[in-house]
Amino acid sequence: MDKIKVTQELADQLKTTLMDVQQPIAKRFRALFTLRNLGGSLCIDAMTEALKDDSALLRHEIAYCLGQMTDNRALDVLIELVKNTTEHPMVRHEAAEALGAIADPRAFDILKEFSADETKEVAETCQLAVSRVDWYTKNEPESIDNKTYLSVDPAPALGSGVSFGAVKDQFLDGDLDIFNRYRALFSLRDIGDEKSVLALCDGFKDKSALLKHEVAFVLGQLQHRAALPALTEVLLDESESAMVRHEAAEALGAIASTETIPLLERLTKDKEAIVSESCEIALDVTDYFNNTEEFQYADGIKLLSEKSNPQISN
């Protein structure tokens, strides 16, 4: 597909949809991922303006998209999000992860400073991002940017010579730092068979909400039905962190099993807005996968990210 020229008119049109609170959250997300996929300063400006929105889920997704674009023109706005202690922790976490994805050394000091943040998820993400920036400065980008899932991963997978048992043990070792546990996590994802999926599901027993949310994320990338019971259990657990339940909902949407539709529909009424909105997104993604011919996106632009569909390319 030829590269689409991003004009001010196109960017404004997408921004209008993105910021229209009367639109379903799923439609607004499609506009967001279109902006992400198109890229460039006009799209970054449109996404940045939408950070005024009341939806923490949308703001967090904007931060995610800015990181996946790996455009250092988003650096300043992401730094401000991390520094803003009144912002929702999930948004700050995603902004820190985005700074790690961009890997600009200018963010290093801020990430180091907030590695001791009082919010554990923010602190752990900053620690992770510091390690990623350090890794990026010493290694080729290909060692981190995943070509199969078209994602900029928070940590590189381990080498192929590490045994499955060793990878699993490293992933489940709560005494290890978060960066090395993430390395094992992404190794399990890259192996991708059923035993790896089940090993990832064991991660839901961990104390770290950050680790558990990433487990749910990669299970969505893998789209393996063996993850359905664990993801369902996590989504239903009202005592679980909203950021974990959110990722579990979107992962169920990516797996696109029609048997989960009633659950997702019911939880669009969940008392936690992040969860209810995530279930709306998940239903939209499920509809996409089950009605590919009928569900057409405007102008042939692929609007879902690799987060929902590892086969979709930019």
Please write the tens of the pLDDT for every residue from 130-168. 999 999 888 766 555 666 888 899 999 998 889 999 999
* Three-class DSSP category at 170: helix
Confirm or deny that 88 is annotated as ligand binding. Answer: no
CA distances from 168 to 27, 102, 165, 179, 184 (A): 38, 28, 5, 15, 7
Examine residue 18 and state whether it is found in any structural domain, yes or no: yes
How far is Cα 282 from Cα 63, in angstroms, rounded to an integer?
Answer: 19
User: What would the mean pLDDT of 203-207 be, rounded to a whole number?
Assistant: 98
Examine residue 151 and state whether it is found in any structural domain, yes or no: no
Confirm or deny that 265 is annotated as ligand binding. Answer: no
pLDDT for the residue 296? 35
Examine residue 122 and state whether it is found in any structural domain, yes or no: yes
- Which residues have CB under 8 Å from 110's CB, separation 6+? 79, 82, 83, 99
Name the amino acid, one letter, at 122: V
User: What would the mean pLDDT of 299-308 be, rounded to a whole number?
Assistant: 36
How far is Cα 91 from Cα 83, in angstroms, rounded to an integer?
Answer: 11
User: What would the mean pLDDT of 192-204 be, rounded to a whole number?
Assistant: 98
pLDDT for the residue 16? 97
pLDDT for the residue 142? 57
Residue with token string 């290093």:
108
Does residue 203 share a domain with residue 291? yes
Does residue 194 share a domain with residue 53? no
Quick check: 51 pLDDT over 80?
yes
pLDDT classification of 116: cutoffs 50, 70, 90: very high
Q: How many CB atoms lie within 10 A of CB 148?
A: 12
Does residue 171 share a domain with residue 275? yes
Q: What's the number of domains the chain is made of?
A: 2
Does residue 195 share a domain with residue 93? no
Quick check: 304 pLDDT over 70?
no
Last residue of a domain, one of 91, 109, 141: 141
Does residue 169 share a domain with residue 83? no
Could you tell me the residue range of the domain that residue 286 belongs to? 162-313
Confirm or deny that 246 is annotated as ligand binding. Answer: yes
CA distances from 97 to 154, 197, 205, 234, 298 (A): 7, 23, 23, 23, 30
Confirm or deny that 94 is annotated as ligand binding. Answer: yes
Residue of 172 and 313 predicted with greater confidence: 172
Last residue of a domain, one of 89, 111, 141: 141
Does residue 174 share a domain with residue 309? yes
Quick check: 175 pLDDT over 60?
yes
pLDDT for the residue 159? 84
Last residue of a domain, one of 109, 141, 173: 141
Does residue 126 share a domain with residue 9? yes
What's the pTM? 0.91
Confirm or deny that 224 is annotated as ligand binding. Answer: no
Helix (H) or strand (E) holding 152: strand 151-152
Does residue 94 share a domain with residue 167? no
Structure tokens at 5: 């020229």
User: What would the mean pLDDT of 243-269 be, rounded to a whole number?
Assistant: 97
Quick check: 1 pLDDT over 60?
no
Quick check: 309 pLDDT over 50?
no
What CATH number does residue 26 fall under?
1.25.10.10
Does residue 168 share a domain with residue 134? no
According to DSSP, residue 55 is labeled -
Does residue 174 share a domain with residue 123? no
Does residue 203 share a domain with residue 96? no
How far is Cα 168 from Cα 203, in angstroms, rounded to an integer?
Answer: 10
Does residue 234 share a domain with residue 172? yes
